[in-house]
Amino acid sequence: MDLEGDGAAPPIDCMRRDARGGWAAELQLRFAPRHGKTVLAHRRHVGPLLVQRPFYPEGPVCHVYLLHPPGGVVAGDKLAIGIDAANDSAALVTTPAAGKFYRSAGPIAQQSVALRVADGATLEWLPQETIFYQGARVISNVHIELGSGARFIGWDIVALGRPAAGEGFASGELRLNLKISQALQPFFLERSILDQEAFMAPWGLNGHPAFGLLVATPSSVENLEAVRELIGDQPERGVTRIGDMLICRGRDMRADRLRSFFQQVWAHVRHDVVGRKACAPRIWAT
């Protein structure tokens, strides 16, 4: 279904159950420039993945909130998200709340995210944290494909267990795969397997239930120095630069504190990376 940017969301289609009994949900979005602003030119969804109408708190940039009405993913579920930013478009995508993956004694839950940013386009992928409950078994694949001259800021924030309830990650397994391509060439690959050993080991998370990664491109040496200054002597924070891509990492005992840190990094580098001052989505303040 093709819709103009300010159109109402289409009705939810019937959810599809796969052969192993899980629910399959899919969301496809395409942003394009029209009449001096970026619009949501195409959206299609199957199952409980959808978006609200776009917001324009900073003029031509399209802000979109991705929704998952069930509020959580259980064993065997599959989520697939695809976002295309066409030439000269500018979009920011976030979520109104944390995502949740519940424990499973059976099938593995799966999530795939494919982000494609065309030449000269700008995309900011800034979802709130994803909570993986103790006992969760999940495979997550994220592929970010950047065209020449594409501008991108994105983060992934993970929270393990329920620390406030005294729950860590004593069981379960996460397979987290990230691939970033630039001009059709692999640029950054990362594969992580997280289980009880990796959660507790000094070479792993050392008992920290929250960790995350932020990338921004194109970045400058000045951006790198600004983030280093922001980090100061804070423990469990780090930043580097590979080519023109800024890569910032962190781990913490609290996911909200890590999210706040990444929001500060985003605010520091956004003007240089995407050409606009920080304009936080309203949903972050609720």
Q: What is the pLDDT of residue 164?
A: 84
Is 177 exposed, middle or buried (CB count within 10 Å of its CB: 0-12, 13-18, 19+)?
middle
Q: Are 51 and 66 in contact (CB under 8 A)?
A: yes
d(CA 59, CA 161): 39
| H/E run at residue 175 | strand 173-182
For 183-229, how does the pLDDT look when each residue is reduced to its tens digit (9 = 90+)?
889 999 999 999 999 999 999 999 999 999 999 999 999 999 999 99
Token pair 């507790």 is found at 200
d(CA 175, CA 235): 26
Angle ∠(163,164,170) on CA atoms, nearest 5: 30
Please name which of 21, 159, 31, 1 lies closest in space to residue 91, comparing C-alpha atoms: 31
Q: What is the pLDDT of residue 76?
A: 85
For 20-63, how does the pLDDT look when each residue is reduced to its tens digit (9 = 90+)?
557 889 999 999 999 999 999 999 999 888 998 999 999 999 99
**pTM listed for this prediction:** 0.91
Angle ∠(168,171,174) on CA atoms, nearest 5: 95
Q: Quick one: CA torsion of 236, 171, 23, 178, rounded to 10 degrees?
A: 30
Reduced to 3 states, what is the DSSP secondary structure of residue 200? helix
114 pLDDT above the threshold of 60: yes
d(CA 215, CA 241): 9
Is the model more confident about 18 or about 128?
128
Q: Which residues neighbour 109 within 8 Å (Cβ) at sequence distance 6 or greater?
A: 22, 73, 74, 75, 76, 77, 78, 101, 136, 137, 138, 139
Phi/psi region, residue 253 (left: phi>0; alpha: psi -120 to 50; beta: rest), is: alpha
For 69-96, how does the pLDDT look when each residue is reduced to its tens digit (9 = 90+)?
777 888 889 999 999 999 999 999 999 9
Q: Which residues neighbour 256 within 8 Å (Cβ) at sequence distance 6 or greater?
A: none
